[in-house]
Amino acid sequence: MRMIMSTILALAFCSVLCQAQIVNAGNLPSPIVTRNSVEVCLNSRYSQHNLSRTSASTQQLSNVLWAAGRAPVTGSYRNIYGVTPTGTYLYNPVSHSLSWHSNEVTNDGAFAIRYEGELDFDAGVSFMPALLASVSLCKSTESPMASCPKGIGYAKTRLIFGAQAGKGLTTQLLVHSSVPEGEPGHLPDPSTAGDNSLEEVLVNLKYVSSFTQTNLTLQQISQILWAGYGCTAHTTTNGRAGLTVPSAFASYYLTGSIYLVNENGVYRYHNRNPSTNLTTRDHRIEKITSIRVRGSLQSNDVRDSLWSAVGGLPEAPCYVILCLDSSYVGQEYAQLETGFVAGNMLIQATALGLGCHFKTKLTSAERKSIQAITSISASHIPQAIVSIGPVAPAGASVSISVFLQGDSRPDAGWVVPLIVKFFTPGANVLNGTPTYEFNLTTARSTAGSTAVCEAMGVAPGSYDVTARSESTLMNVKRSVVISAPNTSVDLGTLLEGNANQDNIIDLDDYAILSTCWLASKAQACFDLRTDFDRNGLIDAADLCLLAANWLRSSPVQILR
Ligand SMILES: [Ca+2]
Ligand SMILES: [Ca+2]
């Protein structure tokens, strides 16, 4: 009984003591939003090695742990621990709270975060938001924190935070591409001052596996490569040009081993000039020219081959392959650094309105295939692939195809506006309100026999689907079942001749055609509405189409 009482007293005493310190088991205060941009925080980060043991505030701890918990979990699991002067706590990212874990206390800095997980890469992905959140505390009601990732003397690498103020924020850009604008390999200056808010970006991180296939601009590519592994305004204590990521002893393990794969081919990213001199700064890409392309010789686009070769890789317009030199493979610091780069790319992609995905745990067969497809250096061993692109809307994408009339329709005449609507089955498709309406533009199908386009983000279900173009009647297909991720819908032949866009082909349309009879495109009286076959001349071919569809009316039922 006495023992139980003393235990209770000891616990009570500990509880009082703990309240005097920075941490309590239980809920943490909500993170504060500083409104500092992702870019300014990336440009301002640096590692500080001698960290004060002055206590951190609960708010500082809250912002840092919250940010660490925002990163997507890669690998099978991740536990985040806060190591404080009073003990070690397990952080719960769902409830934003701490629970007691062990008596281990910090012997360096104000507190540290450390991880248990399947992958060192994963710890790196989660370190970066925490680190940037600590930088961002500058210019808020809380002081910024200095930090440093350390491993020596510990069982597991940790990110240690000191309560002393850092150097503050800077938008000064010290790196510019050594390749002149307009020449191959040039990258435009990255922005160091976005108008986003780091914390708001972290709330809405776009970690996705479904992208629309819109190619990235060179400015977007420049920004993402810089965020991942670009030079900042900082110089390290051993005289090297600092990067947006920390690196043990400023070793910079990924120097020259980051590759970009886009619609134009494969490129190696360089942040140094000369490439191996870590005291220099650069920002350029070098095309890998020795790509062997099967089939067409004109294309260096290997994205489809890459996608086919790597299980679980999403289809994306842009890939970044993070490699390690074979001498670094398996080293914890080096693997951690691949996670830093990926984490930054996710944060920056989100700030640009793009999505991001990480493919990890590549098999040795996949690594060999990646090297063969991209022709990258044999000593550069792929560790992870970062996919980047616009986020595909949730729901199904619907591939629409229609046949366009007119024997003399030129190639350009297959590119037409197409209004596609999705209705509840049985709806009045002429006057009713659709569930979805898309103003699309067609392209000629690869086979050349149809005009095709894509409607994105349709919730799976059954719909009456309609389509019409500028001078056609409306076709309808009833009770079409749409399922994710993709459904193809053939909406049949669109009937030409409806010049005035009402729902019938009749004398009104003929009257419009007769006023511009035999007009060609250059003439003032030319009226595109009656150039039904889009060949730039209004003649007997157009009249024949109108006559063939005479008195037909919308909606034209397409049965199958
Ligand atoms: Ca008409
Ligand atoms: Ca014509």
For residues 481-496, average pLDDT: 95
pLDDT bin (cut points 50, 70, 90) of residue 291 is: low
**Residue 51 pLDDT:** 86
| From 3-7, 149-153, 268-272, 334-338, the region with the lowest mean pLDDT | 3-7
542 Cα: distance to centroid of ligand 2 (angstroms): 5
Residues in the chain: 560
- Residue spans per domain, the chain: 19-162, 198-389, 396-557
Beta-carbon contacts of residue 233 (< 8 Å; ≥ 6 apart) = 43, 44, 170, 172, 173, 174, 242
415 Cα: distance to centroid of ligand 1 (angstroms): 22
Integer Cα distance of 193 and 185 in angstroms:
24
Same fold, 198-389 and 396-557: no
Dig out the tokens for 304 from the structure: 């489809």
As a CATH number, domain 396-557 is 2.60.40.4130
506 Cα: distance to centroid of ligand 1 (angstroms): 6
For residues 247-276, average pLDDT: 96
* Three-state secondary structure call for residue 250: helix
Place of tokens 């060192």: 120
| From 251-265, 297-311, 352-366, the region with the lowest mean pLDDT | 297-311
pLDDT digits (tens, 9 = 90+) for 324-366: 999 999 998 999 999 999 999 999 999 999 999 999 999 999 9
Place of tokens 């800095």: 109
468 Cα: distance to centroid of ligand 2 (angstroms): 18
Give yes or no for residue 92 having a pLDDT over 80.
yes
473 Cα: distance to centroid of ligand 2 (angstroms): 17
**Residue 152 pLDDT:** 63
Residues 323, 328, 333, 335: is their CA dihedral positive or negative?
A: positive
508 Cα: distance to centroid of ligand 1 (angstroms): 6
Integer Cα distance of 471 and 451 in angstroms:
15
539 Cα: distance to centroid of ligand 2 (angstroms): 6
Give yes or no for residue 446 having a pLDDT over 90.
no
405 Cα: distance to centroid of ligand 2 (angstroms): 11
535 Cα: distance to centroid of ligand 2 (angstroms): 5
452 Cα: distance to centroid of ligand 2 (angstroms): 21
**Which ligand sits nearest to residue 503's alpha carbon?**
1
Dig out the tokens for 161 from the structure: 């935070």
116: β partners: 79
Supply the DSSP symbol for 411. G
Dig out the tokens for 433 from the structure: 């309100």
Beta-carbon contacts of residue 179 (< 8 Å; ≥ 6 apart) = 185, 186, 187, 284
489 Cα: distance to centroid of ligand 1 (angstroms): 26
532 Cα: distance to centroid of ligand 2 (angstroms): 5
497 Cα: distance to centroid of ligand 2 (angstroms): 11
Residues 234/131, Cβ–Cβ less than 8 Å = no
405 Cα: distance to centroid of ligand 1 (angstroms): 16
Give yes or no for residue 9 having a pLDDT over 60.
no
Going from the C-alpha of 536 to that of each of 26, 413, 496, 527, the distances in angstroms are 74, 9, 15, 10
Element (H, E) at 487: strand 486-494
Return the CATH class of domain 19-162.
alpha beta
**Which ligand sits nearest to residue 554's alpha carbon?**
1
* Beta strands in 263-300, from DSSP E residues, in sequence order: 265-270, 284-287
**Residue 317 pLDDT:** 97
Residues 308/133, Cβ–Cβ less than 8 Å = no
**Which ligand sits nearest to residue 539's alpha carbon?**
2
**How many Cα atoms are found within 13 Å in the side-chain-facing hemisphere of 267?**
25
Please spell the DSSP secondary structure of 514-548, one letter per residue. Answer: HHTTT-BTTSTT--GGG-TT-SSB-SHHHHHHHHH
Dig out the tokens for 92 from the structure: 């719960």
Give yes or no for residue 450 having a pLDDT over 60.
yes
**Which ligand sits nearest to residue 406's alpha carbon?**
2
**Which ligand sits nearest to residue 474's alpha carbon?**
1
Integer Cα distance of 76 and 450 in angstroms:
46
422 Cα: distance to centroid of ligand 1 (angstroms): 23
| Closest alpha carbon to 149 in 41, 255, 233, 45 | 45
Type of residue found at 295 = G
Residues 491/477, Cβ–Cβ less than 8 Å = yes
**Residue 433 pLDDT:** 95
Integer Cα distance of 541 and 517 in angstroms:
11
- Find out whether the peptide bond into 555 is cis, omega within 30 degrees of 0: yes
400 Cα: distance to centroid of ligand 1 (angstroms): 24
Count of beta carbons in the 10 Å neighbourhood of residue 493: 16
* Beta strands in 94-157, from DSSP E residues, in sequence order: 97-102, 111-117, 146-150
**Residue 290 pLDDT:** 57
Supply the DSSP symbol for 378. T
Percent of the chain exceeding pLDDT 70 equals: 93
**Which ligand sits nearest to residue 542's alpha carbon?**
2
**Residue 21 pLDDT:** 46
Give yes or no for residue 53 having a pLDDT over 90.
no
**Residue 148 pLDDT:** 86
Dig out the tokens for 333 from the structure: 């610091």
**Which ligand sits nearest to residue 535's alpha carbon?**
2
Dig out the tokens for 275 from the structure: 């490439």
* Three-state secondary structure call for residue 254: coil
pLDDT bin (cut points 50, 70, 90) of residue 153 is: low
Integer Cα distance of 441 and 419 in angstroms:
8
426 Cα: distance to centroid of ligand 1 (angstroms): 24
| From 121-125, 159-163, 181-185, 328-332, the region with the lowest mean pLDDT | 159-163
**Which ligand sits nearest to residue 497's alpha carbon?**
1
**Residue 22 pLDDT:** 54
Helix axes 540-548, 507-515, angle to 10 degrees: 180
546 Cα: distance to centroid of ligand 1 (angstroms): 10
Phi, psi of 65 (to 5 degrees): -65, -40
505 Cα: distance to centroid of ligand 2 (angstroms): 17
As a CATH number, domain 198-389 is 3.40.109.10
**Residue 108 pLDDT:** 84
Count of beta carbons in the 10 Å neighbourhood of residue 430: 12
420 Cα: distance to centroid of ligand 2 (angstroms): 24
pLDDT digits (tens, 9 = 90+) for 359-407: 999 999 999 999 999 999 999 999 999 999 999 888 899 999 999 999 9
* Beta strands in 194-349, from DSSP E residues, in sequence order: 231-235, 241-243, 258-262, 265-270, 284-287, 318-325
100: β partners: 89
472 Cα: distance to centroid of ligand 1 (angstroms): 9
498 Cα: distance to centroid of ligand 1 (angstroms): 4
**Residue 156 pLDDT:** 72
Residues 533/541, Cβ–Cβ less than 8 Å = yes
